[in-house]
Amino acid sequence: MTEHKAAQGPKLIVYPVSDIESAKKLFASLLGVEPYADAAFYVGYKTDELEIGLDPHGKSSGPIVYWDTDDVTAKLGELTAAGWKTKAEPKDVGGGMLVASVTDANGNVIGLRAAGQGKQR
């Protein structure tokens, strides 16, 4: 297995939402903080070492947990070699953040993300 930095692990949970305004109110009451990012395409909250995101364009049937990694492409290769199926190839989502996702044999989705690997916009 490849060695990765200690910062790896689940750091982001993204919930698909159909009504972003309603979801913002509910999650602010749950988390006790206002969003640090508030845009039409994504709302993000930071609590301790975990980020909670709301995605009004999310297509999943439930939340997706994103694991931080040093290298999304390398980690994707490692996981597919171990039997995971690629759901989404690496994609730059802005600000230098690169994301991808895989599924297990039961259809569960795990996201991967790495800062500083995408194109700066």
Alpha carbon 62 to its chain centroid, in Å, reads: 13
User: What integer pLDDT is reported at residue 49 of this predicted model?
Assistant: 83
* Domains detected in the chain: 9-114 (3.10.180.10)
3-state secondary structure (DSSP) of residue 85: strand
Per-residue pLDDT tens for 68-95? 999 999 999 999 999 999 999 999 998 8
User: What integer pLDDT is reported at residue 53 of this predicted model?
Assistant: 96
Model confidence at 8, pLDDT cuts 50, 70, 90, reads confident
Tokens of 63: 């939340």
pTM score: 0.80
Per-residue pLDDT tens for 27-78? 999 999 999 999 999 999 999 889 999 999 988 888 999 999 999 999 999 9
Cα separation, 30 vs 24, in Å, equals: 10
